[in-house]
Chain A
Amino acid sequence: MVAILSFYLNIIETESDRELARDLYYQYRDLIFRISLKYLNNEAGAEDAVSDVFEKICRNVEKFRNLNCSKAKGLIVIYTKHTCLNILKRGRIIAFTELDEEAGEYSDDAESIVICDESYNRILSAVEALDDKYKDVLRLKYFVGFSDSEIAEALDITPENVRVRLHRARVMIKNRIKETDLLG
């Protein structure tokens, strides 16, 4: 009986591991800066946002390993928007209300929806009309492919909050479809 006892006793740090965060930074820093400048309207603040996003990329670099270029960009854009909103909140530049508290106004009877040929376009219109905070959880779930806990980590909210936002987003979309049905 020959059993190979394999154990690695040293640092095996591949080039790709070491350089992924740095590559993402150099590839996207200008994009992050320009998005941040739109939100924050000053260069120093936008540079701070770039640093904050880079820090977030470093903390979550393993999540980027299996993302293609488009999904990585999508995730970074969401990180950037979220970071800018946090900077604005911290600086009290604008007052944000915790929008999670405003829900509950959406009727459950909208759950019964009949899918027809035009449904896709209606859903797309309803998605486009959603508030960014609902769009972001949907994008992280469907576009990036994150789990609820990964979405929670990316947006600094609880997994429960993620589930609430996902539920409300669905209800809002269904309500909007129902409204257009009534109008049509």
Chain B
Amino acid sequence: MDDALNERLFDILLETAVCSDYEKELARLPEQAEAPHAFSRRHEQRIGEIYRKYLRNVRSRRLKRNAKRAAVAVLIVISLIFAGFLSVGAVRSAVFRVITEWYEEFTSIFFKSEKGDSKAPNINLEVEGMRQPTFIPNGFILENFIRTPGMISIDYNDESGKILSYTQVILDEDNSIAVDNEHNIISEIEFNGYPAILMEPMDDVGLYSLIWRDELFTYMLVGQVDYETLIEVALSIEIVD
């Protein structure tokens, strides 16, 4: 038998032996004590603190993960737009309205031209200019900045892990945005004269979202801030180059 085969056999037997040995050891541990220990009040308090800290960490991690997920989803749409070589439309004169379609787990949002003549924009951010918030709430600092010909994405974070995320994107009016409707109250509003969607959280974590469209771009602002602050940030968006 060659050395390599010996080694492989040894590995298999070792794994089996280790598992068997440990299973025997675990089996010797009694499942349930006859008289369970009465844990002290001090101990229970400490466990409560650890659990609360754990829940805070879980929420913070999820917030960051959701923000990344949103950014990735936007990039997917951008690639589809460029893959399709969209036609030029009378985008500048178009007036859009929001169309929402409700499904069981999400709501699909379209921004449709009322004239019906705006098939797709042929816009370049290099030409039309990048917009970004000129007001950022105290404590938030720049975390990520992504700029492509069709999208701007800027993430801000504060020390406690709260996020504020801004996206400016070119969307074909045939493209829809799917938003989670199980954990948000979704309403159609008018923002700054444009059709918009406001998503208010159903829990106390406070992740508000505002999505709107002007003649050229679709904007998404997502933040773990209160409603007034979110609107203040949205109103501060200006062309910066």
Interface positions of A (Cβ within 8 A of B) = 1-13, 17-18, 21-22, 25, 29-31, 33-35, 43-44, 47, 50-51, 54-55, 58-59, 61, 70, 73-74, 77, 111-115, 119-120, 123-124, 126-128, 135, 138-139, 141-143, 170, 173-174
CA distance A9 to B206 in the complex (A): 11
CA distance A89 to B12 in the complex (A): 35
A13 to B175, Cβ gap below 8 A?
A: no
Minimum C-beta distance from B126 to chain A (A)? 23
Interface positions of B (Cβ within 8 A of A) = 1, 3, 6, 9-10, 13-23, 25-26, 29-33, 36-37, 39-40, 42-43, 46-47, 50-51, 53-55, 57-59, 62-63, 66, 69-70, 73-74, 76-77, 80, 84, 106, 108, 172, 174-180, 182-184, 199, 201-203, 205, 207, 209, 222
A113 to B69, Cβ gap below 8 A?
A: no
Cβ contact of A30, chosen from B18, B33, B205, cutoff 8 A: B33
Task: Write the chain B residue with the least CB distance to A12.
Answer: B183
> Which residues of the other chain, A, contact B84 by a CB distance below 8 angstroms?
1
Sampled A-B contacts (5; CB under 8 Å) = A3-B77, A5-B175, A7-B70, A31-B31, A34-B33
> Which residues of the other chain, A, contact B202 by a CB distance below 8 angstroms?
10
Task: Write the chain A residue with the least CB distance to B200.
Answer: A10
Binding site secondary structure of chain B: helix
> Which residues of the other chain, B, contact A114 by a CB distance below 8 angstroms?
1, 6
B47 to A25, Cβ gap below 8 A?
A: yes
> Which residues of the other chain, B, contact A135 by a CB distance below 8 angstroms?
18, 21-22
B17 to A3, Cβ gap below 8 A?
A: no
B26 to A22, Cβ gap below 8 A?
A: no
Cβ contact of A12, chosen from B23, B54, B62, B174, cutoff 8 A: B62
Minimum C-beta distance from A75 to chain B (A)? 11
CA distance A44 to B57 in the complex (A): 28
Query: Shortest 6 CB-CB distances between A and B: which pairs?
Result: A58-B54, A7-B70, A7-B73, A124-B17, A10-B183, A115-B9
CA distance A120 to B203 in the complex (A): 57
Asked whether A47 and B18 contact (CB < 8 A) given A10-B205, A54-B50, A58-B51, the answer is no
